[in-house]
Structures are given as C-alpha cells and as structure tokens.
Amino acid sequence: MNKNSILVVEDDRPIRNLIITALKTHDYKYLEAENGTSAILEASSHNPDIVLLDLGLPDIEGVEVIKKIRMWSNMPIIVISARSEDTDKIEALDAGADDYITKPFSVEELLARIRVTQRRLALLQTGEMQEESTFTNGELKIDYTAGCTYLRGEELHLTPIEYKLLCLLAQNTGKVLTHKYITQKIWGSAWDSNVASLRVFMATLRKKLEDENASVVYIQTHVGIGYRMLKVDAKE
C-alpha cells in the first residue's frame, strides 16, 4: 500500500521528533513545520494527504491554521494538543479538524487514528462515499436509493430523524462530528433544545443498532463533544 504524505506541525522539537520517528518507522512520507506560518506554506505548496497539528503554536493559533487551510482544502487534519478541555476540542472540530488527540498520547493511538483517516481518504478518492447507492459497515447496510437500513440482513425500522442521523454519520465514518455540526445538518440550527433532542434520538438509534448482547459498537460517543461512526470489519 502506498503510504500517504503527512505534515507534522509541532513547535516542541522532542514531540515532533517522536512523531516523525514513528512515521519513518512505518514508511510514511512526511513534512515538518514548527509554526503556523510555515505550516500554511507547507500545506499549500506540497498538498500533504494528512496534517497533524498542534494548537499551541508560537505565532498563530492552531485553530486559525485550520480555518486558513479549510479556505482552499479539505485535507484531513488531526489535532494533537495538550488542551484537554471540551471547549478546545469543539472549537477545533467546528473549525474543520477531523480528529483530536490529547497529549500525552501513545504512538500506537496516533498511528491507529492515521489509519482510520487513510481509510476515509481511500473511500473519498474512489468516490464511494458520494456515489455508491449503498453503504456497508460490518453487518450494517444502508440502501440510499430505497431509503432502507438493514442489520444482519433484517430491516431496521427507523424514524426519519434516526435515518438522517445514521446517513450523516455513515457519510463521515471515522470522523468526530460535533453536536453543533449534527444539529445544524439535521435541524438547521444548533439550539440547546436541538442538542437535547439529538441525545434522545441517538439513544434510540443506538438501541436499534447495538442490542444488549451485541459485541459490535457502531457509534462512539465523545462525551460533551459529539459522535463518531466507527469502521467495523466485515465478518468472514
């Protein structure tokens, strides 16, 4: 498999070297930047496949770097930051980040997040997410043309809102979607009442997807932030 090129944006040299060593060990191509200005320059001139971005940069806030890149590119951005507050995560994700890892982190977790992002990239590049009439994830299948959902071959009876939520998550598999993003997509606004409704609908949707005895989890909750559709391997 051809490895993606990854831009590492980190002003702390030991952490930057740790990340680069991990990438080199696993045969990834990489670029590096130690501040926001050089990050934007590297991103625009080399067009990397994935960006690993620290928020606390010496010249420009990481969130501003995300916003600038999003003006011209949808390249996946994984934030790596010591800021663990939910508000920081939400601000970065709403600005356009695809994922968020809190320092200190393990190299194994970072590589796993990169692999998830690679799978999303592969799907986007082949057009499967936009053009396929069906979505399959493990034993879950969505038939977009018919507007039907199946689990283990049996049709699920979803409400219109549950179906819209499931489709939104499916089209962004592997990506954390914030409460604000989801409610704006589903209801057109992000009022507190909509967020409360979202939690209710997500609870009923998960009950239909993941019964008490199920070992498979399709939807991951990021408490105080939002939800993510996990990629589930197909059973042999």
Residue 124 is encoded by which pair of tokens?
């986007």
Q: Can you tell me the mean pLDDT for 183-204? A: 83
Question: Which pLDDT does position 124 carry in this prediction?
Answer: 63
Judge contact between 190 and 145, C-beta under 8 A: no
pLDDT, tens digit, 9 for 90 and up, residues 95-141: 889 888 988 889 998 998 898 888 777 766 655 545 568 889 989 99
Choice among 9-23, 166-180, 212-226 with the minimum mean pLDDT: 212-226
Domain 132-229 has CATH 1.10.10.10: yes
- Tell me the C-alpha distance between 192 and 179, whole Å: 10
**pLDDT confidence band for 87 (50 / 70 / 90):** confident
Q: List the one residue out of 79, 116, 63 whose CA is nearest residue 228.
A: 116
**Residue 196 phi, psi dihedral angles, 5° rounding:** -65, -40
CATH H superfamily, domain 5-126: Response regulator (3.40.50.2300)
pLDDT, tens digit, 9 for 90 and up, residues 24-76: 999 999 999 999 999 999 999 998 999 999 999 999 999 999 999 988 888 89
User: What residues does each domain of the chain span?
Assistant: 5-126, 132-229
